[in-house]
Amino acid sequence: MRSAKLTSPLLAVVLFVSLLPAAVTKAQRLRPADVEEKIEALLRQMTLAEKLGQLQMLDGEANGNFRPEHRDLIRQGLLGSTLNVRGVARTNELQRIALKESRLKIPALFAFDVIHGYRTIFPVPLGEASSWDPAAAERSASIAAAESAASGVRWTFAPMVDIARDARWGRIIEGAGEDPYLGSVMARARVRGFQGADYSQPDKVVACAKHWVAYGAAEAGRDYNTTDISEGVLREVYLPPFKAAVDAGVGTFMSAFNDLNGVPTSANPFTLTKILRGEWKFDGFVVSDYESVKELMNHGLAGTEAEAARAALNAGVDMEMVSRFYKQHGPQLLQENKISQTTIDEAVRRILRIKLRLGLFEQPYGDETRERAALLNPAHLAAARQIAARSMVLLKNERDVLPLNKNARVIAVIGPFADDNKAPLGSWTGDGRTEDTISLLAGIKAKVSPQTRILHAKGVALGDRGVTGNFDAPPVETSNAGGTNVAPNTDAARSAIGTLAPDSFAAAVNAAREADVTLIAVGETAEMSGEAASRTSLDLPGRQLELIQAIHATGKPYAVVLMNGRPLTINWLAENSPAILETWFAGTQAGHAIADVLFGDVNPGGKLPVTFPRTVGQAPLYYNHKSTGRPPTDQKYTSKYLDVPVTPLYPFGYGLSYTQFRLSNLQLSAPSIRPDARMTVSVELENTGRRAGDEVVQLYVRDMVASVTRPVRELKGFERVTLQPGERRRITFTLGPEQLGFYDREMRFIVEPGTFTVFVGSSSVGGLEAKFEVIEK
């Protein structure tokens, strides 16, 4: 395993920056008018086949190699972009063919799913959103951009900005959760991180807002399923993060897999052209998702390959990923006047515009020395550790079980994820590697004193889908001073999926009995979240709950460490376990970051970006719901369930700290404002505990009576604040038309006169309240 000791992150930054190629200067960089002139000059020279070649993206192999045909296609001008091809040696080889052997010398564009890191892996996006820290999200995206650009990849298929209200959907892991305001803040931050102020710079990449649009509203949380939502919900819930990405300058969009109100999103002119290009004036290009043009036939929108190509291209999908219908059927469709030359030219124009803005014509090649210096740079590892720790959410901490004492006599580290260095990487792991990842056990060993004994046992083993094994073997005593493990006195047993698991349920319980405190690492495998990973149960898979209950029965102190990519139904834990830390999938530095929080070197300050339900039967569950005509009460005929409370297990915005905070003295700058005016809302925050810590102050608004019914609360501002013990600070927010308006019945964005309630608190439940009026002009 590569050492994670960060002896000189600043020196590493200096060395890396010194290896960057000279940036494209203002004199070298084409002015906007020159970009358009260059585009038109190329278009005049291009054959139809070369134009269609620019609209084609093909995939490389999983290991980063290109396919043999890529050389010939690029040489002939018939391939404009690839995905998954990475590593400077490979990208440079193809780029030299494009620039030295093709007729028009148009550079290729290399893309990859750099979702939460390239080689240095950061927390999964849902986890990172738990930091409620856009600066952290921007920083991680910037580092991911530097590593991927150094490896020849100048285009990332990120950020994913889908709003997700249903925890059954596996891809909830890839976004910022359920709220459009938080999602918009994170979308802007991630686009800024990937692209910077100018993505032609050598350590930046062009970003891609995906999946356009409403992919996260899949019925029943089943991936790729149909979505059917009103235009009002589309505009108020699902579009805002994409608009924020456009406002931040995102260069590309990706159309989605889903059917939206009867029209698949990869052939939907309303979203692709009317909104994106017409209303928002987006001038970048749209790439289809993987074979989503081909899948128009499965949807039943197209009966033939040619019809699928016509529908997608005419709707506004500029580049076709993997399937080859544009290239194969474009000439015939043009001849039959089913697509126009203008449509083809405009798609090519958009793609060339991004290539020119990227500086690919001036700086087409990567540098292998810079690539080696960038990957797993010590400064990058330090940032991954810090951001991971900021992303963790303390769900429970009775009797101050946490933070732990570094000088404890015996600590047991138990569970299927205790020494797992794969799960912390989560899904879409870029070029992240398990051998570089710090497991929880390794992080604990590095944190405690040399005199501390550490006992480790899995207790149960999980397969990719949650299948469990249970084995008879004693716990393994490990040395945190670099000594050898004590081998178990048993024959190796095989789990349900064929992996070795030489420890047991009973051994784990015995270790807990012997230890002063036990850490139980449970959750989901990496394969259980992400694309094509929907679940009908949100319970802990397999026998993990039984393991926790058995350790609980010993009466010894313990803390549960969750590793997962979605909200889980953990009712028993919430009611009985003394401490619960949500760590999500925390990335390359997971073990160190978790240990930093468990032992108090970092005071947890994260908040949930998504609601935790009590049962899967509540899904979809989200805080910003409507009131209904019969809000839930103790009366029978109200909107609730017979068998569980209507409330969530843990609400949106919730998270504890090792210290305590108090909000007081809520003030509004005016009792009333006009619809086009602004006002300030301020509150005093005090750290009343004995430790320095972070609190996220959250501002919610409710429009009490409107021509269209409004949610019971809507997040409209937040700030993460660090305070020393006894310190006070006044936090101020601004409310204006952007925060108070909504789409009326004619889909006009308006601010209506009436009463508004402001809530300021530490979650979406409770808090201080005040009212004000919006009055007629």
State the catalytic residues. 289
Q: Return d(Cα 157, Cα 289) in angstroms, integer.
A: 10
* Alpha carbon distance, N-terminus to C-terminus of the chain: 66
Q: Return d(Cα 755, Cα 775) in angstroms, integer.
A: 9
Distances 244 to 180, 229, 399 between C-alpha atoms, Å: 10, 21, 43
User: What single-letter amino acid sits at 176?
Assistant: A
Residues 545, 539 contacting (CB under 8 angstroms)? yes
Q: Return d(Cα 452, Cα 466) in angstroms, integer.
A: 33
237 CB-side CA count, 13 A: 23
Q: What angle is formed at CA 769 by the lines to CA 764 and CA 771, rounded to 5 degrees? A: 125
Among candidate residues 610, 603, 687, the one with its CA nearest the CA of residue 649 = 610
User: What single-letter amino acid sits at 677?
Assistant: A
Residues 694, 393 contacting (CB under 8 angstroms)? no
DSSP tag of 599: T
Query: For 634-673, b where at least 16 C-beta lie within 10 A, e where not — what string?
Result: eeeeeebeeeeeeebbbbbbbbbbbbebebeebebeeeeb
Strand partners, 166: none
Q: Return d(Cα 462, Cα 546) in angstroms, integer.
A: 13
Chain Cα centroid distance, residue 434: 20
- Our separate counts of H helices and E strands in the chain read 23, 29
| Neighbour order of strands in the sheet with 208-212 | 208-212, 252-255, 285-287
Q: Return d(Cα 623, Cα 605) in angstroms, integer.
A: 20
User: What single-letter amino acid sits at 735?
Assistant: L
Strand partners, 634: none
Strand partners, 500: 494
Q: Return d(Cα 745, Cα 742) in angstroms, integer.
A: 10
Strand partners, 579: 397
Give the number of other CB atoms < 10 A from CB of residue 464.
12
Residues 722, 694 contacting (CB under 8 angstroms)? yes
Give the number of other CB atoms < 10 A from CB of residue 138.
19
Strand partners, 81: 57, 109
Collapse the DSSP code of 246 into the 3-class scheme (helix H, G, I; strand E, B; otherwise coil) and give the result: helix
Q: Which residue has the tokens 């608009």?
A: 243
Helices (H), 66-179: 68-75, 88-100, 125-129, 134-150
User: What single-letter amino acid sits at 702?
Assistant: R
Q: Return d(Cα 558, Cα 512) in angstroms, integer.
A: 8
Among candidate residues 373, 443, 454, 451, the one with its CA nearest the CA of residue 203 = 373
Among candidate residues 48, 28, 10, 705, the one with its CA nearest the CA of residue 356 = 28
DSSP string covering 609-653: SSPBPSSGGG-S--SS-B--SS---SSSSSS--SSS-SS-SB-TT
Q: Return d(Cα 6, Cα 22) in angstroms, integer.
A: 28
CA-derived radius of gyration, the chain: 27
Collapse the DSSP code of 98 into the 3-class scheme (helix H, G, I; strand E, B; otherwise coil) and give the result: helix
Peptide bond into 474 cis (omega under 30): no
Question: Nearest 5°: phi and psi at 526?
Answer: -60, -30
